[in-house]
Structure 1
Amino acid sequence: MNVLWEGDVIVAGGGSAGCAAAVATARSGARCLLVESAGYLGGTGAAVLDTFYGFYAPGPTSPRVVGGIGWEVCERLFATGSAFERPNTYGAGTGVTYEPEALKLVWDELTAGVTVLLHARVCGTGDEVETVAGRFAIRAPVLVDATGDAEIAWRAGAAVERPGMRLQPMTTTFRLGGVDLSATSAAELRALMEEAGDAYGLARRDGSVHRTVHDGIVHANLTRVSGLDPTDPLELSRAEREGRRQADAYVRFLREKVPGYGSAVLLGTSIRIGVRESRRLKGRYVLTAEDVLAGRDHPDTIARCGAPIEDHDAGAGTRWEYVRDHGTYGIPYRCLLPAAEAPGLVVAGRSLSATHDAHASARSMGQCMAMGEAAGTAAALAVESAAEPADVDVDVLRGRLRANGAIL
């Protein structure tokens, strides 16, 4: 098999975690290959959503808990008028709403020092890549699994929590133009969904519709596709179709029942369905609900979070549980490391090692970027010292993250 690329670090997945990991790796002086299956970078942040959560903790002071590369992304979006801050509908902390097309360009700019391979997938155990020109070998001593599904860790034989466990549902988002958002409050919208939900077959009654950076255009996070496994190819395909069906039902409901939406035009559904949860790594430490709610810190904390447990159940509601005393908690580096030996592998993003409940807090894109930056920095340190990622000096890692603006 021909070798397409050889270097220091391979990052599988170009979403929030993977992009941050690749930027951190390159800035640390390591040669990095970033592989993404789509034709753009940004992952769910560019394909499904338009708001970053997790940058701020909820509560009266609402401190910012994510810095570094993630905050640099926000600052670049703010600078071009492509983002603004807004309160979360359910008190989960201030969100950063942005234009997804602008986000794609920001990640293109930030990854200038990275070899970016689009329209490709890392396969095998991380040493091969499938492209439009066929399959090639890729070579590096360290691999960051930022696929979101722990796909490379699973293929490499690392222990994972497999789907079939209780999973949060998937969501297809959509955008509408020609909306007067001032005509109906969020509370009034929820009341109308409760009142007319059965008639329209609405799967969820507590979602959100919010303004965007463009006048008259809103983003809707309303659908709920439950009971399907996002790592099963047939079930994922069914979920995509069901998500679009539900989006159509919500659009009809909004036009016919909600003031301000009578002339609304559907501008598009999300490029792919949004997956909240799939495989999770079984790491050297498993983050728990107790860690989250008690606001625990750890000696190897590499990211902070103040987000509540936001558990979208299979019914029409969502369970919210908040960190005690409006506090925050630390995400340990050990949550990114496989429990059993998996040479050269570190995981970043929503497939971190955590229980279902803890994952429902730590999965926000702000934390994914922070974990990605930590994973990429650790990968570069491992290359520098010819060591395994698990053997990186955590004090050195934390010091380098702080020096680069991370909040620990």
Structure 2
Amino acid sequence: MKYKKIECEVLVVGGGVAGIAASIKAAREGASTVLIEKNNFPGGTGITGLHRFICGLYANTEDMPDKILNEGIASEICSMLQELAPGKIPLRMGKVYVLPFATSNLMSVLRSLSEKEKQLDIYYNTEAVSAKTENNTIVSVTIQKLNKKFNIIPRVVVDCSGDGVIIKLSGARYRTTPPDQHQLAGYTFRVNGLKHVDDILAVKVPYYLARAVEQKKMPFYLKYTTFTAGDTEDEGYCKLNMPSAGIMEREKQAKKDALSVHTYLAKVLPVFNESYIVEMSPEVLDREGPRLYGKYTLTADDVITARKFPDGIVKNAWPIELWDQQKGVRYQYLKPGENYEIPLRCLVTKNIKNLFCAGRCISVTHEALGSTRVIGTCISLGEKAGREAAHR
């Protein structure tokens, strides 16, 4: 069947932070660019996951940072967020700094930046359903928007989907982690009506849930639940961390778990007594998926030893943050003041000539992904991929 054709120089698949940055940069470099996103809004997991902090922006220094590691679009986004919420300044979390943000503000900033670009056409509620390759080159990508299909004829494709959509459809080589070694997936719910929230609540929530698990009142993985205070005195966020595989109808189970956790906390912690759930993530969000088999694979040793590369394009100092199914979260930090580099080769496939990747599905090991997958780093990876695609 023949579909309407849309020709472009750069096709970006996935409108999360990496995809938005990639498409903006490609358009600014003069390339006619098409961005497709399955949701009806930009931001990807940063929005659907109810995230509240941009990680991976700063060096891991003790002093509050006065600049970010990677200038460019990441800097623009941070400046615009701080204009919307001047009170949100870098916050120390463990040994590193993060930038707090409001979900609505991030969505607004991403829309504002992307809609200014005249060389960029954005298709929301749209997914890639097939790709045709000839001589190891993607020659067309069929996309579907509601019940209509179109053929995109791109010169270059950038996969920022997080799930490796184009990697799989094009036949590019990739690797996956065995299911029993996958990082725990995340599911967040927001509550209002809390009374007298203090810093100790972030310790009390997992402590009481661990006791409930020991008493076999709840599934084992709920002991890894975290709590962070919200933007108002009575608001808070609980993040469940659950196996990414092995649970039937996991969205349904996640909602059930969220209700159970909230009910239990309301019984054992007075601060939760009169609270109520006002929002839940629409889906369980994986921390890892298919990863490109690129021209170079970044390793944990590269991260921890702060390795630099001749083709290094993005700096990062975020620790290796692994959410182990049996042990919960584990961190491996770089030395204070150090950062490593991600080389361009991690974004380039070995067997598809006109495909780049950015975001979660770049060429890294399971362990290194624990550092590279964070929002701040993904923004910069997207920008660099967009620049390279525009000039390919």
Same fold (TM over 0.5): yes
Per the alignment, residue 137 of structure 2 pairs with none
| Aligned partner (choices 197, 218, 229) of residue 201 of structure 1 | 218
Pair 1:218 & 2:218 matched: no
Q: Is the 8 A contact 1:86 1:95 kept in 2?
A: yes
| Aligned partner (choices 348, 352, 355) of residue 345 of structure 1 | 355
Per the alignment, residue 267 of structure 2 pairs with 256
Change in Cα spacing, 1:14 to 1:274, as seen in structure 2 (3 Å) is same
Unaligned runs of 5+ in 1: 230-234, 383-408
User: Map of 1:6-85 to 2, 5 A cutoff?
Assistant: 6-48=7-49, 49-61=51-63, 63=65, 64-81=68-85, 84-85=88-89
Distance in 1, Cα, partners of 2:388 & 2:300: 26
Q: Is the 8 A contact 2:55 2:98 kept in 1?
A: yes
Per the alignment, residue 385 of structure 1 pairs with none
Q: Deviations over 1:299-329 (max 9, x none)?
A: 1111111111111011252111111344110
Whichever residue aligns with residue 75 of structure 2, its letter is: W
Pair 1:109 & 2:124 matched: no
TM (normalized to structure 1)? Answer: 0.86
Q: Deviations over 1:32-62 (max 9, x none)?
A: 1110001101000111122211112334246
Q: Indicate the SS of the match to 1:7.
A: strand
Per the alignment, residue 170 of structure 1 pairs with 185
Larger deviation, residues 18-27 vs 130-139? 130-139
Larger deviation, residues 10-19 vs 148-157? 148-157
Q: Indicate the SS of the match to 2:85.
A: coil
Per the alignment, residue 294 of structure 2 pairs with 283
Distance in 1, Cα, partners of 2:92 & 2:282: 24
How many positions carry a matched residue from both structures? 373
| Aligned partner (choices 334, 345, 350) of residue 323 of structure 1 | 334
Once the two structures are TM-superposed, the CA of residue 198 in structure 1 deviates from its matched residue by 3.2
Q: Indicate the SS of the match to 2:128.
A: strand
Q: Indicate the SS of the match to 2:321.
A: strand
TM (normalized to structure 2)? Answer: 0.89
Distance in 2, Cα, partners of 1:208 & 1:282: 33
Q: Is the 8 A contact 1:84 1:213 kept in 2?
A: no
Per the alignment, residue 168 of structure 2 pairs with 154
Q: Is the 8 A contact 1:184 1:260 kept in 2?
A: no
Change in Cα spacing, 1:144 to 1:183, as seen in structure 2 (3 Å) is closer
Per the alignment, residue 396 of structure 1 pairs with none
RMSD of aligned alpha carbons: 2.1
Distance in 1, Cα, partners of 2:298 & 2:212: 40
Whichever residue aligns with residue 193 of structure 1, its letter is: L
Whichever residue aligns with residue 225 of structure 1, its letter is: M
Distance in 2, Cα, partners of 1:26 & 1:297: 29
Q: Deviations over 1:240-269 (max 9, x none)?
A: 222222212221232122242111110111
Distance in 1, Cα, partners of 2:274 & 2:143: 47
Q: Is the 8 A contact 1:23 1:110 kept in 2?
A: yes
Per the alignment, residue 122 of structure 1 pairs with 128
Change in Cα spacing, 1:345 to 1:82, as seen in structure 2 (3 Å) is farther
Q: Indicate the SS of the match to 1:127.
A: strand
Larger deviation, residues 79-88 vs 100-109? 79-88
Distance in 1, Cα, partners of 2:199 & 2:182: 36
Q: Is the 8 A contact 1:82 1:99 kept in 2?
A: no
Change in Cα spacing, 1:133 to 1:195, as seen in structure 2 (3 Å) is closer
Once the two structures are TM-superposed, the CA of residue 290 in structure 1 deviates from its matched residue by 0.5
Per the alignment, residue 401 of structure 1 pairs with none
Pair 1:376 & 2:379 matched: no
Distance in 2, Cα, partners of 1:292 & 1:326: 13
Per the alignment, residue 397 of structure 1 pairs with none
Q: Is the 8 A contact 2:42 2:111 kept in 1?
A: yes
Change in Cα spacing, 1:41 to 1:242, as seen in structure 2 (3 Å) is same
Pair 1:142 & 2:156 matched: yes
Change in Cα spacing, 1:144 to 1:250, as seen in structure 2 (3 Å) is same
Pair 1:357 & 2:373 matched: no
Change in Cα spacing, 1:257 to 1:183, as seen in structure 2 (3 Å) is farther
Change in Cα spacing, 1:99 to 1:334, as seen in structure 2 (3 Å) is same
Per the alignment, residue 186 of structure 1 pairs with 202
Q: Is the 8 A contact 1:97 1:213 kept in 2?
A: no
Distance in 1, Cα, partners of 2:176 & 2:64: 35
Percent identity over the alignment is 27
Larger deviation, residues 174-183 vs 62-71? 62-71
Once the two structures are TM-superposed, the CA of residue 82 in structure 1 deviates from its matched residue by 7.6
Change in Cα spacing, 1:60 to 1:184, as seen in structure 2 (3 Å) is closer
Q: Is the 8 A contact 1:130 1:136 kept in 2?
A: yes
Distance in 2, Cα, partners of 1:270 & 1:92: 28
Distance in 2, Cα, partners of 1:198 & 1:5: 57
Distance in 1, Cα, partners of 2:270 & 2:101: 25
Q: Indicate the SS of the match to 1:357.
A: helix
Distance in 1, Cα, partners of 2:270 & 2:92: 22
Distance in 2, Cα, partners of 1:39 & 1:369: 20
Q: Indicate the SS of the match to 1:224.
A: strand
Distance in 2, Cα, partners of 1:141 & 1:329: 31
Q: Indicate the SS of the match to 1:186.
A: helix
